[in-house]
């Protein structure tokens, strides 16, 4: 895989960081991007196969920035084979206590970023093929109390993946998603920490939260050649909380 390259967006912490490190350990030249430029730089220091796209704060909710991000990735890496987005954000709040401004932010971060990044990635990948892997959520599969609009946005990511996979198959572009369940990330800690975690994992058949590295393994698998005959799929990685037929 020495000639393969990847871009991981949202790589500054949690699942994104773990994904970038996994790709690097597999020998893939990987560029990391994040809204937090300092965090991305710190991740890039962890493995020689990682690099940043300059000291830039990349905002995936800005379509112009997404185009610039992909262009810069091509400049840095020479070409791009795989684009993985782990961008996401939520807060657990009752639906009727939320504001339209909050809904807009949730949709921008969790759905529009995937649309903008996919458009930018498709423009770059359609000449040589490749893969796009987006991050949905099990909330987008079954819905979640306290995360209504987040669930709707993540469900939108699943529909986006299916549609793009059909439209871009002729270009040799595979499009898939991973839907994490409860995962021990800094975002989860900021939302309620151990008490919230304990209350949720009781519903998980494996009786524990996932680790970022476990989600990263699924993201990397779908991106790389081992999944070369898989497209339009959403892989749930949540300890059995949701089970397909």
Tokens of 42: 């710190």
Say if residues 82 and 64 touch (Cβ distance below 8 Å).
no
Residue of 117, 152, 112 whose CA lies nearest to 131: 117
pLDDT of 2: 61
Of 102, 116, 150, 229, the catalytic one is 150
Distance between CA 219 and CA 176 in Å, rounded?
Answer: 9
- In this structure, is residue 222 part of a structural domain? yes
Residue of 164, 158, 127 whose CA lies nearest to 141: 158
Q: What is the CATH number of the domain that holds 191?
A: 3.40.50.720
- In this structure, is residue 245 part of a structural domain? no
Q: Residue 68: exposed, middle, or buried by beta-carbon count in 10 A (0-12, 13-18, 19+)? A: middle
- In this structure, is residue 242 part of a structural domain? no
H helix runs in 63-203, sequence order: 63-77, 100-107, 113-125, 139-142, 148-168, 186-191, 193-201
| CA distances from residue 166 to 172, 175, 221, 231 in whole angstroms, order as listed | 11, 9, 20, 8
Would you write out the chain's pLDDT as a tens digit for each of its 245 residues? 568 999 999 999 999 999 999 999 999 999 999 999 999 999 999 999 999 999 999 999 999 999 999 999 999 999 999 999 999 999 989 999 999 999 999 999 999 999 999 999 999 999 999 999 999 999 999 998 899 999 999 999 999 999 999 999 999 999 999 999 888 776 666 666 666 667 778 888 888 888 999 999 999 999 999 999 999 999 999 888 888 65
Catalytic residue flag (residue 150): yes
Say if residues 183 and 204 touch (Cβ distance below 8 Å).
no
Supply the pTM of this predicted model: 0.93
Domain count, the chain: 1
For 103-124, letters b (16+ CB in 10 Å) and e give bebbbbbbbbbbbbbbebbbeb
Distance from CA of residue 17 to its chain's centroid?
11
Phi-psi region of 93 (alpha: psi -120 to 50; beta: other; left: phi over 0): beta
- In this structure, is residue 145 part of a structural domain? yes
Say if residues 100 and 200 touch (Cβ distance below 8 Å).
no
Range of the domain at 182: 5-237
- In this structure, is residue 243 part of a structural domain? no
pLDDT of 241: 82
Say if residues 61 and 112 touch (Cβ distance below 8 Å).
yes
Tokens of 59: 């905002």
């Amino acid at each position: 895989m020495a000639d393969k390259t990847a871009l991981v967006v949202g790589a500054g912490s949690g699942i994104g960081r773990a994904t970038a490190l996994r790709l690097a350990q597999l020998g893939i030249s990987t560029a990391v991007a994040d809204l937090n430029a300092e965090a991305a730089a710190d991740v890039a220091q962890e493995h020689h196969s990682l690099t940043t796209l300059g000291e830039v704060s990349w905002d995936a909710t800005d379509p112009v920035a997404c185009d610039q991000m992909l262009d810069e990735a091509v400049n840095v890496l020479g070409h791009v084979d795989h684009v993985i987005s782990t961008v996401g954000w939520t807060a657990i709040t009752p639906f009727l206590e939320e504001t339209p401004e909050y809904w807009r932010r949730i949709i921008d971060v969790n759905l529009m970023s995937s649309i903008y990044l996919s458009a930018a990635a498709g423009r770059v990948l359609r000449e040589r093929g490749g893969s796009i892997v987006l991050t949905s959520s099990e909330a987008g599969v079954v819905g979640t109390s306290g995360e209504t609009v987040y669930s709707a946005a993540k469900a939108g990511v699943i529909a986006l993946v299916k549609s793009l996979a059909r439209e871009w198959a002729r270009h040799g572009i595979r499009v898939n998603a991973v839907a994490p369940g409860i995962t021990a990330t800094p975002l989860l800690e900021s939302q309620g920490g151990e008490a919230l975690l304990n209350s949720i994992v009781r519903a998980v058949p494996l009786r524990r939260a996932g680790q970022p590295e476990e989600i990263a393994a699924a993201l990397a698998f779908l991106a790389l050649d081992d999944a070369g005959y898989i497209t339009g799929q959403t892989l749930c990685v949540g300890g059995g909380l949701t089970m397909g037929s």
